Amino acid sequence: MAKITCNIISQVLKRTVDITVIIPTPTIPDALNPEGKRVSYIPAEKYPVIYLLHGFGNNHATWSGYTNVELYAEENQIAVVNLSAENKAYIENGMDDFFTFVSQELPEMVCGLFPISDKPENTYIAGLSMGGYGTLVHSLRHPERFAAVGAFSAAVMPKKPGSGVSMEEIKKESEVELPGDGDPDVYLADFQPSVLAERIAKSGKKFPKMYMACGGQDALFEQNKKFRDKLISLGADVTWDEIEQYKHEWRFWDIQIEKFMEWIPRTDSYKAGGKRQI
């Protein structure tokens, strides 16, 4: 496994952004093969990829710091891309257009610089809390770009500052802050997972396969179940997982990212070889 941390220049955001890219590489068992042949670092084909989004108050390094995502990525032969999105919810927020950065510029960067596939059938997006919200918004705005989606303890009901709800309530309930200017109806439509899901159903487009999970003691548990039921009613293929004793916490998300990686409905040749020996 190679973990590469980069500071890249974003033309969309007009500044540098930190990202971490995890890429499978030859391991010690590869070096100890019976034939004694050196294994090449040149991959047979580009790797499938998960764009893995962090939560409120986190950054590009937090997933690796609090979970075993590097181990799971190596075992499952899949690349992982993390970015620092500040607390901007992965959407257009004031002067920062993180929606365009994540949906267009970031994939162009990593697929151009690393052996990472740009094919929709090899592309996945997942995240926790605020990152779960970002995952839902991006996958439901552009369902054709992702083969599967993972939303863990997602903040699925964002509210707009100025709508009679205090900032403290917004952070407590959803951790998602929508832009404070412009037409609120447009913002709520373009960045509201429920509305975006209804658009897909009405358009006849196909939902990506969805994996949702939430701890039974999490304050976001009921809203996640409610949104799960809505997606299913609209025709989405949703796999749900809940564990009663967990709250909004990293031990739960470590379990879920491993489950998600093993659940992903992959068609690439790396998956066909089974779980990698580490």
Backbone phi, psi, residue 5, to 5°: -100, 130
Cβ–Cβ < 8 Å for 130, 56: yes
Q: Give the C-alpha separation, 236 to 150, whole Å.
A: 13
Helix axes 130-141, 193-203, angle to 10 degrees: 20
Q: Using 50, 70 and 90 to split pLDDT, how confident is the model at 267? A: very high
Cβ–Cβ < 8 Å for 142, 103: yes
Q: Provide the pLDDT for residue 162.
A: 40
Lowest average pLDDT, out of 85-99, 156-170, 258-272, goes to: 156-170
pTM (predicted TM-score): 0.89
pLDDT in tens, 214-230: 999 999 999 999 999 99
Q: Which residues pair with 215 in a beta bridge?
A: 243
Q: Using 50, 70 and 90 to split pLDDT, how confident is the model at 94? A: confident
Q: Give the C-alpha separation, 218 to 227, whole Å.
A: 15
Contacts 24+ apart (CB under 8 A), 225-230: 227/136, 227/154, 227/156, 227/157, 227/193, 227/194, 230/194, 230/197
pLDDT in tens, 95-143: 799 999 999 999 999 999 999 999 999 999 999 999 999 999 999 999 9
Mean pLDDT of the chain: 88
Q: Provide the pLDDT for residue 164.
A: 38
